């Protein structure tokens, strides 16, 4: 289209210029203009003046002419019959004869960038009530503007007052204030330029109250704003600049006394939010700065309440100065909602931290609840956002109940205990691969102990402690694999000899050994991995059972970099499927590759840096589901190595003894107490997520119960070992349930710590990208024009069809439940719109 090409032409794009200069319609337009003999200023004809224009100016004139040939509509008013200047009677477009209908039009000019993208961003700032007021949005003929037709609010004021207030809500400051008059119309463009339309109300809406209140002032030529707006700042006017309000101005919904009382009853760490805000406001000058203060306050409240705009709105509306803002026209709910998309800082804002400290609410603070600043750790440490002291205290209490915990936590800094707990539980649980259980969700499915563990810490944080325990606990698997690896190496050496030795070629045929090697490094060919996984099968209680593969790597980056080659690429999907032992398969032409379907049984434990984690899971690939399957546990760089460390000569032997014991565990483990505990924990947290309408929280909660069972069960089994040996049962008490709940709490907090912002952005981006745009067809329009009750002849008239076609369509509509038969020849709509 010319309107899109014109800016480039005016900037010197000769290719487009030559293309449009040869356009047939443009040539005809130029011929018509040059033939004009109408005299203009200077004695020249209009045609002579046009000939002197450059080709660029001629194209610009042609574009303006095309715009004037478009349909012209006046949305805001109709006009009573009056005489024109020549005395001819008609409904002329004069402000003195207008009858306002309650619609209002905003004209946004000179929008930079994509108009649709600008509108979508602005539209998200509106409340649901304001969104419902919009009847039409379209891109103007220039291609660089927007027209917004909406229902005016009589309490806000006249046309220009409504325009300014609504423009502020949208956050757009390039409002064309020339459109203040009641005689202004708008040129329409094509259907493709329409962004939003409500056809039903657009042509029928009438607000008589608006006309009665403002008709007379427009007849008298008074179209200036009924609100006194202060001059806009460079950043665009805010509603805080409104100095006065229209008559009968109403407050924002939610600002009544009931909600104020509700907000005042809300507490944080036992302290009312109103008291925290009072401390936060100390030293803040509210004079002419209320809007900016409100946005900053709402931003800070996210750290306490979470990204819950409804609850934050409820809290701020308990403040008198916010109530005043609402009474003056500020869309408080819209302002709060616009802040929800702001980026979280990893550290709680200093102003908020001081306010919490002052009122005694600064304790156990995390990403929603913060980390104790009194823990003695550096304020700048990102891991202060996790309740590491609380977890360490609980784990130290567990040491006296559970075997191996004392040996695992020996010489470890308390803040590293959660990482040691999860990694060691995954190793012990992998040894219990011959055991299974039934989960409360889909209880008919046989569940295995599956683990996908990442231990993340800065370089030099002491991640080698995980590798140390891996070599001790996984010893039964490593020893079992050693003879299988020897067999494979002998087979490879034999094949090599066959190519160089005549004597070896005369020997017996070499057969590839079928071995179920279970421990695999990152640098493993996918074909070998699959072959070993399918070979690792044992008969357990008369049934064949696949044993888990295990991968451990001290450098997560080593795993990431294998992605660039062929070795690991096909296993990225297997990483996803491993958590629920889902089905996979392959059918390649390669003669040596495995052919067929198989289930994935694979546990992995990797240690790495935050940078390596970001390469593995980031905003771009968050939607794969890997993040909810992972247990990513931090390993903070805490404490200082002791010169004389405590030595337990029996620690290594204890760990190995229990490792070999668990390696013999097989059969079903009955764990109804853990099923009850995990169900109750998840249900209570999902209720909160549903109450908050927090999709991100719901997503991160989904798989946490599996880790509650997977992390606690190996230690519970060790604690009740004698009972298990005797009766294959586990009599669990509150201590066991507490360990399960602690594992879920650690996983939940760590999920939010590493992936909370990604989850929130995932759903926010989803709402932006997957916008359903409804396109109305002519068939839909014809159906909409039908009265609620109609006869066959009316159907024929609306659709312009024959009697036979109408009969077939009516029959189909009845069969689909769209209409119903009232009586012979008379039908009634069941649906007002075609599905």
Distance CA 681, CA 192 (A): 51
Q: Are 546 and 537 in contact (CB under 8 A)?
A: yes
- Asked whether residue 565 carries a pLDDT value surpassing 90, the answer given is no
Q: Is the Cβ–Cβ distance between 551 and 517 less than 8 Å?
A: no
* pLDDT for the residue numbered 233: 35
- pLDDT range class, residue 86, cuts 50, 70, 90: low
Least confident span in 26-30, 150-154, 628-632: 26-30
Residue 140, pLDDT score? 86
Provide the pLDDT confidence category of residue 365 given band limits of 50, 70 and 90: very low
Q: Is 83 strand, coil or helix?
A: strand
Q: How high is the pLDDT of residue 328? A: 72
Q: Given this model, what pLDDT does residue 385 score?
A: 85
Tell me the per-residue pLDDT of 507-519, one tens digit each, with 9 for 90 and over: 676 788 888 999 9
pLDDT reported for residue 501: 66
519: which DSSP letter? Answer: B
Q: What is the pLDDT of residues 691-713, one digit of tens each?
A: 888 899 999 999 999 999 999 99
Q: Are 58 and 22 in contact, with CB atoms under 8 Å apart?
A: no
Q: What per-residue confidence (pLDDT) applies to 56?
A: 81
Cα distance between residue 369 and residue 268, in whole Å = 9
Band (463; pLDDT cuts 50, 70, 90): confident
Longest dimension (CA), the chain: 121
Mean of pLDDT over the chain: 83
State residue 477's pLDDT score.
Answer: 95
CATH architecture of 778-829: Orthogonal Bundle (1.10)
| The pLDDT of residue 163 is above 70 | yes
Given pLDDT bands bounded at 50, 70 and 90, which one contains residue 249?
A: very low
Q: Where in the chain is the domain with CATH 1.10.10.10?
A: 778-829
Top-confidence range, 129-133, 322-326, 659-663? 659-663
The residue with tokens 């997957």 is 770
Question: What local confidence, expressed as pLDDT, does residue 484 receive?
Answer: 92
**Statement: residue 252 has pLDDT above 60:** no
Once rounded to an integer, what is the mean pLDDT over residues 464-488?
A: 92
Residue 168 tokens, joined: 């502020």
Instruction: Tell me how far apart the alpha carbons of residues 672 and 437 are, in angstroms, rounded to a whole number.
Output: 10
- 253 pLDDT exceeds 60? no
Q: Residue 694 contacts by C-beta under 8 Å, 6 or more apart in sequence?
A: 306, 307, 308
Q: Which range among 28-42, 49-63, 497-511, 721-735 has the greatest average pLDDT?
A: 721-735
Is the pLDDT higher at 255 or at 77?
A: 77
What pLDDT does 479 receive?
A: 94
- Pair of tokens at residue 316: 């701020």
pLDDT-above-90 percentage for the chain: 37
pTM value surpassing 0.85: no
Write down the pLDDT at residue 323: 81
Whose CA is closest to 49, among 63, 35, 60, 70? 35
**How many Cβ atoms from other residues are within 10 Å of residue 536's Cβ?**
20
Residue 534 dihedral angles phi and psi, to the nearest 5°: -75, -20
pLDDT given for residue 367 in this prediction:
36
Give the pLDDT mean for 390-404.
93
Strand 452-456 relative to strand 602-608, pairing: parallel
- In percent, the amount of the chain with pLDDT more than 70 equals 85
The Cα 479–Cα 659 span in angstroms is 12
Range of lowest pLDDT (336-340, 482-486, 772-776): 772-776
- Beta-carbon count within 10 A of 693 CB: 11
- Give the least confident one: 590-594, 670-674, 688-692, 779-783: 590-594
- At residue 456, the 3 state secondary structure works out as strand
Span of 330-339, 366-375, 438-447 with lowest mean pLDDT: 366-375
User: Which residue(s) pair with 631 in the sheet?
Assistant: 453
What's the whole-number mean pLDDT along residues 470-487? 93
What is the mean predicted confidence (pLDDT) over 598-612?
94
Distance CA 429, CA 434 (A): 10
pLDDT at 632 over 80: yes
Residue 430 clears pLDDT 50, i.e. is over it: yes
How far apart are the C-alpha atoms of 768 and 770, rounded to whole Å? 6
Q: Round to whole Å and give the CA distance between 176 and 163.
A: 9
**19, pLDDT greater than 60:** yes
Q: In angstroms, rounded to a whole number, what is the distance separating the alpha carbons of residues 680 and 676?
A: 6
What is the per-residue pLDDT across 806-835, written as a single tens digit (0 to 9) for each?
999 999 999 999 999 998 889 999 998 888
Residue 644 neighbours by CB under 8 Å, 6+ apart: none
For the residues 670-675, what does the mean pLDDT come to? Answer: 95
DSSP classification of residue 733:
-
- The confidence band for 375, taking pLDDT boundaries of 50, 70 and 90, is very low
Which region among 364-373, 405-414, 548-557, 823-832 has the lowest average model confidence (pLDDT)? Answer: 364-373
pLDDT-derived band at 20 (thresholds 50, 70, 90) equals confident
């Amino acid at each position: 289209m010319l309107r899109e090409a014109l800016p480039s032409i005016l900037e010197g794009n000769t290719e487009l210029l030559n293309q449009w200069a040869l356009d047939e319609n443009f040539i005809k337009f130029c011929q018509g203009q040059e033939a004009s003999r109408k005299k203009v200023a200077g004695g020249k004809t209009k045609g002579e003046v046009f000939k002197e224009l450059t080709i660029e100016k001629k194209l610009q004139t042609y574009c303006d002419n095309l715009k004037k040939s478009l349909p012209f509509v006046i949305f805001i008013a109709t006009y009573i019959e009056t005489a024109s200047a020549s005395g001819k009677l008609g409904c002329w477009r004069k402000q003195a004869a207008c009858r306002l209908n309650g619609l209002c039009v905003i004209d946004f000019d000179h929008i930079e960038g994509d108009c649709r993208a600008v509108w979508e961003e602005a539209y998200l700032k509106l409340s649901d009530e304001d969104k419902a007021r919009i009847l039409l949005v379209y891109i103007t003929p220039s291609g660089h503007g927007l027209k917004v037709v909406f229902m005016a609010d009589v309490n806000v004021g006249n046309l220009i007052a409504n325009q300014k207030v609504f423009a502020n809500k949208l956050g757009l400051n390039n409002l064309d204030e020339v459109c203040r008059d009641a005689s202004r119309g708008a040129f329409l463009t094509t259907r493709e330029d329409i962004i939003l339309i409500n056809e039903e109300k657009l042509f029928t809406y009438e607000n008589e109250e608006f006309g009665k209140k403002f008709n007379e002032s427009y007849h008298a030529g008074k179209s200036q704003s009924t609100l006194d707006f202060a001059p806009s700042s460079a950043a665009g006017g805010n509603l805080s600049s409104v100095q006065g309000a229209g008559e009968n101005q109403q407050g924002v919904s939610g600002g009544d006394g009931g909600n104020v009382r509700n907000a005042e009853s809300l507490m944080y760490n036992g302290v009312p939010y109103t008291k925290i805000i009072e401390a936060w406001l100390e030293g803040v000058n509210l004079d002419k700065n209320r809007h900016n203060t409100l946005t900053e306050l709402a931003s800070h409240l996210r750290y306490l309440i979470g990204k819950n705009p409804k609850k934050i709105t409820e809290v701020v509306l308990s403040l008198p100065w916010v109530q005043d803002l609402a009474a003056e026209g500020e869309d408080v709910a819209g302002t709060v909602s616009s802040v929800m998309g702001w980026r979280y800082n990893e550290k709680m804002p200093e102003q908020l931290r001081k306010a919490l400290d002052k009122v005694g609410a600064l304790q156990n603070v995390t990403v929603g609840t913060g980390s104790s600043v009194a823990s003695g750790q550096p304020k700048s440490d990102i891991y202060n956002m996790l309740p590491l002291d609380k977890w360490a205290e609980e784990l130290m209490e567990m040491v006296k109940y559970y075997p191996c915990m004392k040996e695992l936590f020996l010489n470890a800094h308390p803040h590293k205990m959660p990482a040691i707990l999860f990694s060691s539980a995954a190793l012990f649980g992998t040894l219990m691969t011959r055991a299974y259980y039934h989960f409360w969700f889909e209880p008919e499915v046989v569940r295995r102990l599956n683990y996908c563990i990442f231990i993340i810490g800065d370089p030099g944080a002491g991640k080698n402690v995980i590798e140390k325990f891996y070599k001790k606990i996984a010893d039964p698997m490593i020893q079992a694999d050693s003879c299988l690896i020897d067999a494979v190496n002998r087979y490879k050496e034999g094949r090599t000899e066959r190519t160089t030795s005549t004597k070896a070629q005369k020997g017996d045929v070499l057969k590839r050994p079928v071995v179920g090697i279970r421990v695999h490094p990152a640098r493993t060919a996918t074909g070998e991995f699959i072959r070993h996984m399918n070979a690792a099968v044992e008969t357990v209680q008369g049934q064949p059972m696949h044993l888990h593969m295990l991968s451990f790597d001290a450098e997560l980056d080593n795993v990431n970099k294998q992605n660039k080659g062929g070795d690991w690429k096909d296993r990225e999907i297997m990483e996803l499927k491993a958590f629920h032992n889902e089905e996979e398969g392959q059918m390649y032409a390669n003669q040596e590759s495995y052919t067929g379907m198989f289930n994935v049984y694979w546990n992995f434990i990797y240690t790495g840096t935050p940078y390596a984690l970001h390469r593995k899971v980031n905003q771009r690939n968050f939607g794969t589901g890997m993040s909810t399957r992972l247990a990513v546990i931090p390993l903070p760089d805490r404490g200082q190595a002791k010169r004389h460390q405590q030595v337990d000569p029996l620690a290594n032997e204890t760990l190995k003894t229990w490792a070999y014991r668990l390696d013999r565990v097989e059969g079903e483990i009955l764990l109804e107490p853990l099923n009850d505990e995990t169900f109750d924990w998840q249900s209570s947290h999902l209720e909160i997520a549903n109450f908050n309408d927090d999709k991100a929280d719901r997503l991160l909660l989904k798989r946490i119960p599996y880790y509650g069972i997977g992390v606690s069960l190996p230690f519970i089994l060790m604690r009740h070992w004698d009972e298990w040996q005797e009766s294959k049962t586990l009599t669990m008490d509150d201590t066991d349930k507490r360990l399960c709940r602690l594992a879920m709490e650690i996983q939940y907090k760590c999920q939010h710590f590493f992936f909370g912002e990604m989850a929130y952005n995932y759903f926010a981006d989803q709402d932006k990208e997957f916008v359903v745009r409804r396109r109305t067809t002519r068939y839909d329009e014809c159906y909409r024009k039908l009265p609620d009750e109609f006869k066959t002849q009316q159907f024929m008239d609306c659709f312009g069809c024959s009697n036979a076609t109408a009969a077939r369509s009516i029959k189909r509509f009845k069969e689909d439940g769209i209409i119903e038969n009232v009586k012979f020849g008379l039908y009634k709509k069941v649906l007002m719109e075609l599905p």
